[in-house]
Chain A
Amino acid sequence: MSDTAEKVKKIVVEHLGVEEAKVTAEASFIDDLGADSLDTVELVMAFEEAFGVEIPDDAAEKITTVKDAIDYIEAQKAA
């Protein structure tokens, strides 16, 4: 697993208070990890802070799973 993936998972575990095993790549923040819409806003802010990237609202709306987040961040870092 990449460093980014590790870090994303850690942030998700901390912010949503879920068990690490549940945070699979396919897991949806809202459907599988018990987040509400405000939780997801906060998660995206935490990603921005941790990775030093900016995630505009229209992109943030499309980040609904753990994998979406990892992919977006890695693409930003590669760019």
Chain B
Amino acid sequence: MFGSLTTPRRVVVTGMGIACPLGVGVAHVWQRMLAGESGIGPISLFDATDLPARIAGEVPSGSRAEGKLDFNEWIPVKDQKKMDRFIQLALVAAAEAVEDSGWVAESEDDKNATGVMIGSGIGGLPTISENSQLVAQGKSRRLSPFFIPSALINLASGHVSIRYGFKGPNHAVVTACATGVHALGDAARLIALGDADVMVAGGAEAAICDIGMAGFCAARALSTGFNDRPTEASRPWDKDRDGFVMGEGAGVMVLEEYEHAKKRGAKIYGEVIGYGMSGDAYHITAPAEGHDGAYRAMKAALKNAGVTPDQIQYVNAHGTSTPMGDDLELEAVEKLFGEAGKGLAMSSTKSAIGHLLGAAGAVEGIFSILAIRDGVAPPTLNLHAPSRESVIDRVALQPQQRSIEVALSNSFGFGGTNASILFRKAP
């Protein structure tokens, strides 16, 4: 199967795009994040009055010029009804990333060598909800012919490929909240193994809708104690945390084979040097004891990269602000890093944007790359009093200037699926 391949090829990041609760556009979002701003507020996308969790991180509405979201600037109005919100968010982030990379696939060979892998945790939930209501009202014949293609997860990758003519591998990851990292890692592998030279990869999610919020409320996963203080609700590792805050958005990277990027003079943000995965084989929603799965995923990523813990300066944690998960992840990181943990900075950017589910790993991968580029660890907001002490600096409240050569980003999902990815400074 891999007989023709002697050594895996190097993979670099040449483009990035974000739509998240802090806004639209990588530069704008990063600047707000380092300023310690929060994207969490009352839910406006639907009437959440009856729910115990009434806050979320929505992508702010407004013009692109002000770093906000107006789909009409990105997608023809007549096409918008053919795609659920998560696909539209994917198209926005992909447009920024592709534009940023400067990659234009002109020849047939270039098109065939460029693929797309944008996943989602849940896919077109708002669309599914609306259409199932029509069926429940006896109006089955009124279902839009675009219902199914609007809701399918891989249609994010499909639409991006159609828009840009990318005819290489077209794939979509679905691993709940680990989706984003799995998409970046799997896409990097496809390039490393020669299936593509360029991959547009990431995750998109738009589950802030009636059944999405009600469903996570039913699972007792969301923060409910901060409805009157939304910006304080996402507080990873803090003793008063009480669940995650739902976020929405998309993160997309353009990953590229190193020589390919060099040859066309592309700007290189950083390199993907390692990727590791594991399964808990334990419980549908709870992490295993000591977050053993997280430990093994991180360990596998380090092994894959051939680096040791002391070579890593920053970890972007999964850190969702749930009572159980945060400290277990911390425990796993402490176990892996040992003595090297003393020099480590680890933060959770979910403190500012909430949990973007399937998009989380992708936007956090982008934050990890930016942390390396700018030599700064983004802050963990609202971390006033940790529930558990640690030698690891969790970058409470304020960003920290740090020299960062290598960064690790974690994402873990329901079902007991774990993924870690390692980035290094541009070669």
Contacts and interface: CB of A to CB of B under 8 A. Distances in A.
A73 to B, nearest CB: 17
Interface stretch (A19-27, A37-45, A64-72): A37-45
A42 B145 contact: yes
B164 interface: no
Contacts of B146: 38, 42
Interface string B136-153: 000001101110010000
Interface residues of B, number: 11
A45 to B, nearest CB: 7
Contacts of B79: 17
| A contact face: mostly helix, strand, loop, or mixed | helix
B76 interface: yes
B145 A41 contact: yes
A17 B142 contact: no
Interface string B53-84: 00000000000000000000000111100100
Contacts of A15: 78
A16 interface: yes
Contacts of B145: 38, 41-42, 45
Contact of B78 (A17, A38, A45): A17
Contacts of A45: 141-142, 144-145
Contact of B144 (A16, A17, A42): A42
A41 B141 CA distance: 11
Contacts of A16: 78
Interface string A1-12: 000000000000
Interface residues of A, number: 8
Contacts of A42: 144-146
Contacts of A49: 142
A49 to B, nearest CB: 8
Nearest to A34: B78
A53 to B, nearest CB: 13
A42 B82 CA distance: 11
Contact of B77 (A17, A38, A41): A17
B308 to A, nearest CB: 54
A38 B79 CA distance: 12
A57 to B, nearest CB: 10
A24 B142 CA distance: 27
B301 to A, nearest CB: 42
A41 B149 CA distance: 14
Interface in B110-158: 141-142, 144-146, 149
Contacts of B78: 15-17
A36 to B, nearest CB: 10
A65 B146 CA distance: 21
Contacts of B77: 17
A39 B316 CA distance: 44
Contacts of A17: 76-79
A17 B80 CA distance: 11
A42 B141 CA distance: 11
Question: Which 9 residue pairs are nearest across A and B when measured between Cβ atoms?
Answer: A17-B78, A41-B145, A38-B145, A42-B145, A17-B76, A17-B77, A38-B146, A42-B144, A16-B78
Interface of A: 15-17, 38, 41-42, 45, 49
9 contacts: A17-B76, A17-B77, A38-B146, A41-B145, A42-B144, A42-B145, A42-B146, A45-B141, A49-B142
Given A16-B78, A38-B146, 13 more contacts: A15-B78, A17-B76, A17-B77, A17-B78, A38-B82, A38-B145, A42-B144, A42-B146, A45-B141, A45-B142, A45-B144, A45-B145, A49-B142
